[in-house]
Amino acid sequence: MTRTVYVNGAYVPENEAQISIFDRGFLMADGVYEVTSVLGGKLIDFEGHAVRLERSLNELDMGMPCTMDELLEIHRELVRANEIDEGLVYLQITRGSDGDRDFAFPDPETTVPTLVMFTQSKPGMMNSEASKKGVKVISIEDIRWGRRDIKTVQLLYPSMGKMMAKKAGCDDAWMVEDGFVTEGTSNNAYIVKGNKIITRGLSNDILHGITRAAVLRMAKEAQMVVEERSFTIEEAQTADEAFTTSASAFVMPVVEIDGVMMGKGTPGPVAKRLREIYLDESLKKAI
């Protein structure tokens, strides 16, 4: 099926979508993005993603190309047009193009940002095989830039990390800086010790996950203890459980870290419970 995608104000078939070869997103990774999940044809935590998008744009001196209401309507129209039941909406805003290549930003008065959006259908995402079996991770050094709180499209190193994991027969990589885990290639990282959920605190070192915020809130409501602090791979390997969170995989149990099996090598009860609570609550609030 040919998808309908959105490019700068127009809904077009995917093979007719066009942007300039001078677009700074293409030439300089000068752009930001968001990924919002869709369950039962509805958007999960749209507001959280929209607020983070606005923050990312502000941090890079870029403006919003449309209002939040318009953004919501485009999301909904794409979900409708592409009949998405379970899947994702991808959104990317770049600084656009003034028709040439230059390191300096073009004049924002005369250069309009590029807004591109498309859907990805992922039937079975809610009950994925990976979530039942858990995933295996390796650790790699975190060599990304210092503003990981901004959701930019500079994803080369995370992609390389995924490939390193694949090569090692694993599913993903956790990145480590100064001896402490920062985050996964495309998710936030957690360990569980007894009734305590431990995850790195918010700073410029990690992306401020929208799923993270929701899961931590729900964990507290379920009387679990949340400790926001850094942890090492060694501490993770001896913890009771480990898991990750992201808009595309929700709560994902981790069953192996650098070849060391977590517990019995199957998803732990806390990760399973948090996944259930998260999906349940998110479905109720989906719009």
Binding site for ligand PDD (CB under 6 A): 35, 183, 186-188, 207, 209-212, 245-248
Local structure of 11: helix, strand or coil: strand
Residue 26 CB, nearest approach to ligand PDD (Å): 18
CA 72 to chain centre: 18
Burial 66-101 (b: 16+ CB within 10 A, else e): eeeeebbebbbebbeebebebbbbbbbbbbbbbeee
Residue 88 CB, nearest approach to ligand PDD (Å): 8
Q: In whole angstroms, give the CA distance from residue 82 to residue 4.
A: 6
**Residue tagged active-site, from 42, 122, 136, 151:** 151
Residue 67 CB, nearest approach to ligand PDD (Å): 22
Residues 6+ apart with CB under 8 A from 39: 86, 125, 126, 279, 282, 283, 286
Burial class of 168 by CB neighbour count within 10 A (0 to 12, 13 to 18, 19+)? middle
Residue 130 CB, nearest approach to ligand PDD (Å): 14
Nearer to ligand PDD by Cβ, of 150 and 224: the residue is 150
Residue 260 CB, nearest approach to ligand PDD (Å): 23
What's the Cα-to-Cα distance from 193 to each of 19, 136, 160, 246, 270, rounded to whole Å?
49, 19, 30, 21, 10
Nearest in space to 100 (alpha carbons), one of 18, 27, 19: 27
Nearer to ligand PDD by Cβ, of 247 and 274: the residue is 247
Nearer to ligand PDD by Cβ, of 74 and 189: the residue is 189
Residue with tokens 């090569």: 167
What's the Cα-to-Cα distance from 206 to each of 83, 142, 149, 209, 231, rounded to whole Å?
33, 11, 5, 8, 14
Q: Which helix (H) or strand (E) holds 188?
A: strand 188-193
Residue 151 CB, nearest approach to ligand PDD (Å): 7
Catalytic annotation on 151? yes
Nearer to ligand PDD by Cβ, of 230 and 248: the residue is 248
Nearer to ligand PDD by Cβ, of 136 and 151: the residue is 151
- Helix/strand/coil percentages in the chain, nearest 5: 30, 30, 40
Nearer to ligand PDD by Cβ, of 95 and 200: the residue is 200
CA 180 to chain centre: 20
Catalytic residue positions, numbered: 151
